[in-house]
Chains A and B, each alone.
Chain A
Amino acid sequence: MNLLYNEDQRLLADSAGEFLAARSPVSRQRALRDEAQAGGFDPQLWKDAVALGWSAIPFPENLGGLDFGCMGLGPIFESIGCNLSATPLLSSVVLSGSLLHLQGNAQQQDRWLSATISGERRLALALDEQPRHNPSRVALQAVANGDGYSLSGEKYFVIDGVGADAYLVAARTGMAGISLFLLPADAPGLSVIPLPLIDSRNHARLQLDQVQVGADALLGAAGSAMPALNVALDRGRVCLAAEMLGMSEKLFDMTLDYLKTRVQFDVAIGSFQALQHRAAQLYVDLALARSAVMAGLAALDDSSLSEVERQRLASLAKWKAGQTAIKVVNEAVQMHGGIGVTDELDVGLFLKRIRVAQACLGDADYHCERYGALELAHA
């Protein structure tokens, strides 16, 4: 397992960085917020990102992918973090696309995965039902009904849920396991309600009132979705970790600049040892977080690793990156002083996005528990 990007991945980092800095800088996120755009992202930006091949990265060539490996998503998500860019890459491609790839049949892939990769369609994953992420607590029932199922219940925190073309809905058919159903947005009984969060992105709540689907809406066998969910969620978690790392590094640079230029008591405040040590400590955390994120990315592609090892490294990445991001952004606000709590300064936008990214797909406590359970079971 290699913890450095290879040359192709470094080239991608450069091109993604340039593209987003030009097309979707932080000021653009501020404008999206102020315009209160329903989709939460710029559709033209997404079209152009698809044209650059981003949506094809993790998929094999026979399905229209680039077979570039999940590690190739790392530099893109780092740039997304650094520029605070909004795209449906996580929701539609990394989460839903992976699930279709891993769990969908040829017909489902033909209809939906190709369209996801080409950007013609956009999918969203409807998983959590409680305020804190935990896939094992999915309770929404899919009752067998004729030659199909009837789904009733609620889903929270559906990423990019408003305006998606279809939803992958996690549900239980009886007690056994978790199943995934593909529901088109226009399915009767399905309501999509915007759930505006502090990060001004697109989140939604779904209400399902006896939504009737055919057996062909089921991905794989009933009750069999957990292994695929684990893989897809781990991809999403590590990508979020990379996004948080990108945000943290950007914030640290901004804060370091401020420490060097802000003068109080006739000296740059960065000459005060109290602040120097805190800044040095953040540098340490960032270095450790980068190692954990790189290991998480590498683990996604490394077929020589056991399932447990991959899960452990994914949780480590999300845990370390999340914890570090919160520490860095909280310090960034404090070290900027009064201006740190104004809306004018970009730090506040990062603060809000980091908190949402932290809660998304499991916060630090969730991943600490998961890592511990995996370790203690095998220690």
Chain B
Amino acid sequence: MNAIDQFREQTRSWLEANCPPSQRKAIPEGEMVWGAREVEFPGTDAQLWFERMRDKGWFCPEWPAEYGGAGLSAEYNAVLESELRRLKCRPPQINLGIWMLGPVLLEFGTEEQKKTLLTPMTRGQVRWCQGFSEPNAGSDLASLKTSARDAGDHFVVDGSKIWTSYGDKSDWMYALVRTDAKASKHTGISLIVLDMKSPGVSVAPIDLISGKSAFCQVFFDAVKVPKSQLIGPLHGGWNLAKRLLQHERKAMSKFGEFSLPTHFHLLPLVKQYLPEATGQAESALVARAVATAMNEHSYNLTVQRMGETARAGQDVSGLMSIMKLVHTEQERDKFEVLLDVMGYHGLGWDKAAFSPQEQAITRGWLNSFALTISGGSSEVQLNVIAKRVLGLPDVK
């Protein structure tokens, strides 16, 4: 048996022995474990699983052992991931630091930064949030205004970040700030990290049309940030931001892989709420619902085709560029038609009067509006396709 097969066998038997059965299914909302200064566990199994994986260094299997990783090569890590998938193991913790900031630190951080920032990540001791968007910098991220003024051995940060997921629960933030107001938009930006407990930081949660959300607005009022917390070159933050956003896609797909599907099958619901369409209006509504389901079917086949194309070693950048747009637009279309099909059943706000499924659909509909805006709005996606894929020219 060669080394890699041996590793697979050892990993498999270790996981069988150490992953509690309760940790081998999809995670319901509210049971996710977030690495943090004070980790909250939904139960003792989750804690056991967290501690065992932490002690193996498997929060960050590919990171070097000196920072608390397991030092696995990509090949060994792929084996570990496939074994985790095989057993349907939950991620023992969720941490934006590991998925997004960590790889950037490994590439651009100083030795000191790697030691002080990466090690707590691999131990699951710090919860990170991301400070990118601002009230006046959404799709046009590079127009951000939060300033970091040079004050000798530290920066003084003033301004505000918005759409910060779990800003109220996070310990540290990595943020894009303007360090040179006179330079052109993209060249005066730097990446810093800061402790959310620093004096002058305040956080306000944001309620959405769908109700409570994880989003927050974060305010900075003369917050002192030591210069040792600048990541990468001064004024060189934009390139790091682009790298971080590449990791964002991977992070989002991890979320998707492990969370419970909030996914509704349209046609069974049509059958449930409109068992016998009568009259032209209802027939037309059913036809609209079927067409929506057919578009979703086409999208699912496209996901399959993209996977096959990638495995065949062919370019999938064109297909990749349409996925976010198509999926989020179709989700909203689906909820819209579903609301029409369900009538008053889709409009309930009072918890007592409507089934959990009905409430979830109503909230899902409202939430679907956020999906076509966040993570690159549909209009930005269309710009990207037009310019990068189709090669249409920029305006002069």
Contact = CB atoms under 8 A, between A and B. Distances in A.
Interface of A: 2-4, 256, 259-260, 266-268, 270-273, 275-277, 279-281, 283-284, 287-292, 294-295, 316, 319-320, 365, 368-369, 371-372, 375-376, 379
A190 to B, nearest CB: 38
B391 A260 contact: yes
Given A270-B392, A368-B287, A375-B290, A280 B302 contact: no
Contacts of B203: none
Given A284-B322, A375-B267, A369 B287 contact: yes
* Interface size class, chain B: 35 or more
A280 B385 contact: yes
Contacts of A275: 392
B394 interface: yes
Please list the 5 inter-chain residue pairs (A to B) with the smallest Cβ-Cβ separation, ordered nearest first. A372-B290, A276-B386, A280-B385, A291-B301, A288-B298
A268 B390 contact: no
Given A2-B308, A379-B271, A368 B290 contact: yes
B391 A3 contact: no
B267 A283 contact: no
Contacts of A284: 322, 325-326, 385
Contact of B393 (A271, A283, A291, A316): A271
A267 B396 CA distance: 7
A7 to B, nearest CB: 10
A370 B334 CA distance: 20
Given A291-B301, A379-B267, A279 B293 contact: no
Contacts of B305: 3-4, 290-291, 294
B290 A277 contact: no
7 contacts: A267-B396, A277-B383, A284-B326, A288-B298, A319-B294, A372-B290, A379-B271
B379 interface: yes
Given A284-B325, A371-B294, A276 B387 contact: yes
Contacts of A376: 267, 270-271, 286, 290
Given A3-B308, A290-B305, A276 B318 contact: no
Given A283-B385, A290-B305, A267 B395 contact: yes
Nearest to B384: A280
A276 B291 contact: no
Nearest to B291: A368
Given A3-B304, A273-B383, A288 B290 contact: no
A371 B290 contact: yes
A283 B322 contact: yes
B370 to A, nearest CB: 21
Nearest to A288: B298
Given A271-B394, A284-B322, A320-B295, 13 more contacts: A3-B308, A276-B382, A277-B382, A289-B298, A291-B301, A292-B298, A294-B305, A368-B290, A371-B290, A372-B286, A372-B289, A375-B293, A376-B271
Contacts of A266: 396
B281 interface: no
B288 to A, nearest CB: 9
A46 B329 CA distance: 45
Interface string B279-323: 000000011011101110111011011001100100000110010
A283 B298 contact: no
A271 B268 contact: no
Contacts of B267: 372, 375-376, 379
B301 A3 contact: yes
A260 B392 CA distance: 6
B389 interface: yes
Given A284-B322, A284-B325, A291 B379 contact: no
Contact of B294 (A260, A268, A283, A368): A368
A271 B301 contact: no
A295 B322 CA distance: 19
Interface of A is mostly: helix
A259 B387 CA distance: 12
Given A4-B308, A4-B309, A277-B382, A288 B392 contact: no
A276 B392 contact: yes
Contacts of B287: 365, 368-369, 372
A44 to B, nearest CB: 37
Contacts of A379: 265, 267-268, 270-271
A279 B171 CA distance: 45
B383 A276 contact: yes
Contacts of B379: 277
A294 B303 CA distance: 13
Contacts of B396: 266-267, 271
A4 B270 CA distance: 33
Contacts of A369: 287, 290
Nearest to B287: A368
B308 A288 contact: no
Nearest to A266: B396
Contacts of A276: 382-383, 386-387, 390, 392
Contacts of A2: 308
Contacts of A294: 301, 305
Nearest to B307: A3
B194 to A, nearest CB: 37
B188 to A, nearest CB: 27
Contacts of B318: 283, 287
A375 B265 CA distance: 11
Contacts of A4: 305, 308-309, 312
Nearest to B300: A291
B128 to A, nearest CB: 34
Contacts of A272: 395
A252 to B, nearest CB: 9
A256 B390 contact: yes
Nearest to B326: A284
B302 A291 contact: yes
